[in-house]
Amino acid sequence: MENEKNHIIPYRTFLYVLALLITLTITSVAITQIYLGTLTVVLALLIAAVKSSFVLRIFMHLKFENKIFSIAVVAIALLISVVILITFLDYLYR
């Protein structure tokens, strides 16, 4: 079975995404310098999630692969989150 469709991503696309990722990185550094309490962590992780989605969808080609791969990645992220959540049912309420 040969490669399905030889979809080629232009060099430019990668460079645009890189610029975006660096911008988001610097933003996250700047934001976390401001004291926002617990919101700081949430924002930092949110930005990390956005960066990840670009890496996953463009660099790792998920946008152009069968949807099932994207679903699996999200499912695994959810799985880890649920395990952490259930673990916290212990730690939060001790």
Partner 1 sequence: MNIQPGVMEPSFLEYKGKYKGIFSWIFSTDHKRIALLYLFSILTFFVVGATLGLLMKFELIAPGKTIMTPQAYNAFFTLHGITMIFAVVIPGLPAVFGNFLLPIMIGAKDVAFPRINLLSWYLYVAGVTLVLISQFAGQGPPDTGWTFYAPYSFRTTGNMLPAVFGAFVLGFSSILTGLNFLVTMHRMRAPGMTWLKMPLFPWSLYATAWVQLLATPIIGITLLMIVAERTLHIGFFDPTLGGDPLLYQHLFWTYSHPAVYIMILPAMGAISEIITTFSHKTIFGYKFMVVSVLAIAFVGYFVWGHHMFTSGMSGTALYTFSLLTFLVAIPSAIKVFNWISTMHKGSLDLQTPFYWAVAFIFVFMIGGFSGLILGSLAANVHLHNTHFVVAHFHFIVFGGTGFAFFGAMHYWYPKITGRMYDTRWANIGLVLFFIGFITLYGPMFYLGFKGMPRRYYDYDEVFHAGNIISTMGSWVLYSGLAIIIINLFASLRSAIKAPSDPWGGKTLEWTIPSPPPVENFDEIPVITKGPYDYK
Partner 2 sequence: MNSTPKIHRDDLASKTGMWFFLFTEMLLFGGLFIVYSVYRFRNAEAFHLAAHELSIPIGTINTIILLISSTTIAMSITAIQKKNKNLALILLGITIFLGLAFLVNKYFEWGEHIKEHIYPGSAVLALRGQGDVLFYGLYFFMTGLHALHIIIGLVFICVIAVKIYRDKIRPDNYVLLENSGLYWHLVDLIWIFLFPLFYLIT
Residues lying near partner 1 in the complex (CB under 8 A) are found at: 76, 79, 82-83, 86-87, 89-94
Residue 4: CB minimum distance to partner 1, A: 13
User: What part of residues 51-80 is at the interface with partner 2 (CB under 8 A)?
Assistant: 51-52, 55-56, 58-61, 69, 72, 76-77, 80
Rounded (5°) CA angle 59-70-6: 50
CA distance linking residue 67 with residue 69, whole number of Å: 5
Is the CB of residue 58 less than 8 Å from the CB of residue 9?
Answer: yes
Provide the CA 32 distance to its chain's centre, in angstroms. 18
Which one-letter DSSP state was computed for residue 33?
A: T
The contact set with partner 2 (CB under 8 A) reads 1-4, 6, 8-11, 14-15, 17-18, 21-22, 25-26, 28-29, 32-33, 40-41, 44-45, 47-48, 51-52, 55-56, 58-61, 69, 72, 76-77, 80, 83-84, 87-88, 91-92
